Structure 1
Amino acid sequence: MLQKIRGTEDVQAELYDLVTANEISKTIKHPFKNILKKKYRPQLVMAVVIPFFQQSAMVTGAAGLSMTFLSLLIIDKVGRRTIFTIGGVQMFVSQMLVGAVMAGKLGDHGGLSKGYGYLVLILICSYVAGFGLSWGPLGWLIPSEIFPLEIRSAGQSITVAVGFLFTFIVAQTFLEMLCHLKAGTFFFFGGWVGVMTVFVYLFLPETKNVPIETMDRIWKQHWYWRRYVSEEDDTEVNFDTRYLDL
């Protein structure tokens, strides 16, 4: 199957990596206990923070779907963190401008002229496109890449649970916020977009072209997370040596 997918017969090294990873996964016990270890602090933080930020900026729309396809096409060329940053800046500017227009022209009981109405529509489409380019797809892709085998199941479970939790919270509170904060609602969520963009720029290392089995190295090289990640690998791995003949 690998030979068919890759279009070459030279797949033995990749096959060996897959078999080894499979054997390692069978030896893993207590993933939720492992993820609490100090050396996995970066992954645990990302498992909570990324879905929280993603749901704080959650939007839907056809424009977002189109930009998601574009993101999938360029992600391995441009880089994850770069797309996160570009999309975050686009979302932040769009959100703040919508809030400014609403606050300045709409007020509590006013209305928007046709021109400003079109402007708000364009800004919202820009926001949706920025989300579809960055936080929409990458909010799920990045967590799937950064967890080593011994905590992968726990990390993915935490990511999904946090995402569902904050989806519920945002859905239940948004209309109430809109009634009380009015245009300030856009500034509130725009502020979170700014925070999450800065967070990604400072604390998320670039994972482009980094194999999953060596993902732990990027945390050891990061200016902040290296203080938590030990240079020693205390994972005990035992797998059938007959696979070495591959």
Structure 2
Amino acid sequence: MRKLHSNNYVFSIALIAALGGLLFGYDTAVISGAEQSVQIYLIDNLGLSSFVHGLTVSSALIGCIIGGLLSGFFSNNFGRRNSLIIAATLFFISALGSAYPEFLFFEVDNPTIGLLVMFNFYRIIGGIGVGIASATAPTYIGEIAPQGIRGTLVSWYQFAVIFGQLVVYFVNWGIASGQSTAWVNDIGWRYMFASEVIPALLFFVLLFYVPETPRYLASKNREREALGILSRINGSKEKAKEVLSDINESLASRDSTGRLFSFGKTVVVVGIMLSIFQQFVGINVALYYAPRIFESMGAGGNASMLQTVIMGVVNVGFTVIAIRKVDKWGRKPLLMVGSIGMAIGMFGVALLAQNEVFGLWTLFFIIIYTASFMMSWGPICWVLLSEIFPNKIRGQAMAIAVAAQWAANFFISSTYPAMIDISGGLTYGFYGLMSVISAIFVWKMVPETKGRSLEQLENLWRKGRKEPLTSVEASNR
């Protein structure tokens, strides 16, 4: 009964932290339903280019980069939980500001360059919240979770991201359903952005009911608090003392000065490249521009919104597969299978686009692509990022990896409109090629991490070594 109680406790606090992922998904995907209305109101009325449109759709990603970079500072100085509280506050401000960017300084229905800047400012504020949450929430869950279920619990974070995207697809569809295009372009898009206030407030309130992570507390010499939390997590004080001893040994290790490259460059480079590949395969193009893609392939009006909802439902289902299998099959097999599936999906879309063959086949290949991503690179990338960095450098290394991820996201998302104007076939073919290269990278460079504690995983890396240790080498240390 005690073990069941401890698991319920871990599940509840991991679920609350995962709401940061829900808001991540909600904030980044809400633009999919509103971007065409924003284009009409703030881009077309001002006579601006498709490049400016791409920057506006992707402006939140600038904030994500900033938030990712700041996350290490906030996480190390204010704690994991307080960093998430800051992120929740930023989500709330962004939701209201994006819905009504005219507040105080501008007039409604009088678009100006200043109003465009203010809209992007509020989107960037939300992006900073996303950047902080995207680095801190997986770290929080990874540091709280026992090793046997760590992969599953961190995968909840990605499930929350996808669930947040699915929720906002339904919200956007519900707002637009039965309404005229003119109404959506006039007021409906504002309701889409404002709807984020509800999950932001829920996240903010619930965070006051979760503890700080024991690894952060131990790093600040708050061992009594760390031991108390570890006791509740592990179900016994004896096991808690054993885990705390391993944490303290890791923090006191002479092998690391706490500087970024004190465990060698390979672990940092692998983390950065995982982040970059997760974006260069083009997933957020499919998520941000989903209704527009389906419209370009033959689905008009609400049908494009409905196909987007179908895609979201499939995404949730395949994320569940990753959650159930990540601690059984391991991280590498799921990543490699997912890369192959993504390549098949994107090359299929590229072939259809190049030959101007539209219709349900497009939906079929996009679903293959997104489903493959959701059962692999979506959740597993976050699992690995929460695991591979040693305790002493986790905050700063995670910050750099997440900032690199958002920089790659911004590059891919902002260049999509211009690329698609040149060639749809080549654009989607590029994402397919990146999927192939990502499989090779995982095969050659990424170690398997399942079944080990965070402290044991530090032995996978040796300072100055170009390759990670094999599992045999690690077990002999």
Equivalence for 1:14:
239
DSSP-derived class of the 1:210 partner: coil
Secondary structure of the residue aligned to 2:422 is helix
- 1:26 deviates by 6.9
Higher relative contact order (CA 8 A, sep 6+): 1
Q: Deviation of residue 199 (structure 1)?
A: 0.3
Structure 1 partner of 2:264: 40
Matched, 1:84 2:84: no
Aligned counterpart in structure 2 of residue 73 of structure 1, from 324, 328, 353? 324
Q: What letter corresponds to residue 100 of structure 1 in structure 2?
A: L
Distance 2:260 2:363 in 1: 43
CA distance in 1, matches of 2:401, 2:2: 30
2:419 is aligned to 177
Residues matched between the structures, number? 216
Task: Name the amino acid aligned to 2:314.
Answer: A
For residues 10 and 98 of structure 1, what CA distance do their matches in structure 2 show?
Answer: 50
Q: Which residue of structure 2 lines up, in the alignment, with residue 135 of structure 1?
A: 377
Question: Partner of 1:167 in structure 2?
Answer: 409
Q: 1:130 to 1:119 in 2, by over 3 A?
A: same
How far 1:218 sits from its partner (Å)? 3.2
Matched to 1:52, the amino acid is I
- Structure 2 distance, partners of 1:32, 1:132, is 37
More helix by share: 2
Q: Distance in 2 between matches of 1:22 and 1:34?
A: 18
Q: Which residue of 2 aligns with 1:238?
A: none
Matched, 1:152 2:377: no
Q: Report the alpha carbon displacement of residue 56 of structure 1 after superposing the two structures with TM.
A: 1.5
Residue in 2 aligned with 1:187? 429
Equivalent position of 2:468 in the other structure: 225
Unaligned runs of 5+ in 1: 107-111, 232-246
Query: In structure 2, how many angstroms separate the alpha carbons of the residues matched to 1:42 and 1:65?
Result: 33
Deviation, structure 1 residue 131: 0.6
Aligned partner of 2:441 in structure 1 is 199
TM-score (norm 1): 0.76
For residue 385 of structure 2, what is the amino acid of its counterpart?
P
Aligned counterpart, 1:243? none
TM-score normalised by L of structure 2: 0.41
Q: Does the 8 A contact of 2:326 with 2:380 survive in 1?
A: no
- Separation in 1, partners of 2:385, 2:235: 30
Once the two structures are TM-superposed, the CA of residue 153 in structure 1 deviates from its matched residue by 0.9
> Deviation digits for residues 167-194 of structure 1, max 9, x if unmatched?
2222211111111132100111111111
Cα distance in structure 1, aligned partners of 2:393 and 2:342 = 32
Q: Name the counterpart of 1:210.
A: 452
Checking the alignment, whether the CA contact within 8 Å between 2:266 and 2:466 is kept in structure 1 is: no
The answer to which of 182-191 and 53-62 deviates more is: 53-62
The answer to whether 1:5 aligns with 2:6 is yes
How far residue 126 of structure 1 moved from its aligned partner, in angstroms, is 0.7
User: What is the identity percentage for the equivalent residue pairs of Structure 1 and Structure 2?
Assistant: 23
Task: Give the conservation status (yes or no) of the 8 Å contact 1:55–1:166.
Answer: yes
* Change in 2 beyond 3 A, CA 1:190/1:166: same
> What's the offset of the Cα at 1:223?
8.8
Residues 1:188 and 1:209: Cα distance change in structure 2 (over 3 Å): same
Identify which range, 207-216 or 60-69, moves more after superposition: 60-69
RMSD between aligned alpha carbons?
A: 3.2
Q: CA deviation at 1:166?
A: 1.7
How many angstroms does 1:42 deviate by? 2.1
Q: 1:69 to 1:10 in 2, by over 3 A?
A: closer
Partner SS, residue 449 of structure 2: coil
